[in-house]
Amino acid sequence: MAEYLLDAKGNGQIFAVQKTICKESSAWQTIEISELELLGRVLALDGIIQLSELDKDGCHETITHPVLQASLRTPNSSAEILILGGGDGIIASEVIKYAGVGVTIVDIDARVVELCAEHLSDLNNNALTSKSTKVLTMDALEFTCTAPRERYDAIFLDITDPHPESPSSSLLSSKAIRDYKSLLTPGGVIVCQTDNPFVTSHHRQQMRKLFGDTFSTVGEFGITALTFAGVFSFVWASDYHQELVFDESMITTKWLTAERFEFCKKMLNLA
């Protein structure tokens, strides 16, 4: 049995561990990849589970496809997508299912990328070594200083809950959000994962305010996920799009449907 945190305050869950595949400390955080009885293979950073085999499709299909489809002008459009964080490669694996779409991952922790390429290849479909994926191991804020303006059609903020000791603590300031916006095309969309709204409600509220100060439209959606103690939330923003939808005719998915996404857009009303 092992305890995994849900936040930096000590709240957590206990799962039966079948096998610890690797566990080490990088320059930035502790990294663990294990097999758990209920969740299957998981990635945990600083003791907080970031993803699981059980909920991978529900989480990553839902955050990726409605946002990406809004950014594509036609089903066959080319697009450039930026993922800040996301060193596990799973959002990237969903993005590159679209022909003509390139993706850049910027993750500060090279060791996360290396271990996920080795041990999560079945979950990320080898996206970290795909010719469609560019991986940069550097600070996201440094990247934004030199990245071309108005280059990216969608930006995914796939970063850990920004508690003070987290390597992502500086990535969600007002200035950072303005800098990210400068990288978006005029019709672009940005989205951030905002954790369990019952456990870390401040994160969701913070992102709604930060996005609302910078973009004309802010929306949110959620999913059910045992991995994150029942519920997980996402906040998105755009100056062009006023609503997100999911078009099943554009892509084949394992979990997400148009009907399910309409429910995802409403479920956080219960939080």
pLDDT digits (tens, 9 = 90+) for 175-224: 999 999 999 999 999 999 999 999 999 999 999 999 999 999 999 999 99
CA 73 to chain centre: 22
pLDDT interval class at 91 (50, 70, 90)? very high
Nearest to 231 by CA among 260, 256, 194: 194
> Coil, strand, or helix at residue 102?
strand
How many alpha carbons fall within 13 Å on the CB side of residue 181?
A: 20
How far lies 81's CA from each of 146, 175, 204, in Å? 16, 21, 23
Q: How far apart are CA 11 and CA 122, in angstroms?
A: 30
Amino acid at 233: S
pLDDT tens by residue, 122-174: 999 999 999 999 999 999 999 999 999 999 999 999 987 655 555 566 789 99
pLDDT interval class at 77 (50, 70, 90)? confident
Q: How confident is the model at residue 47, as a pLDDT?
A: 95
Just list the catalytic residues. Answer: 158
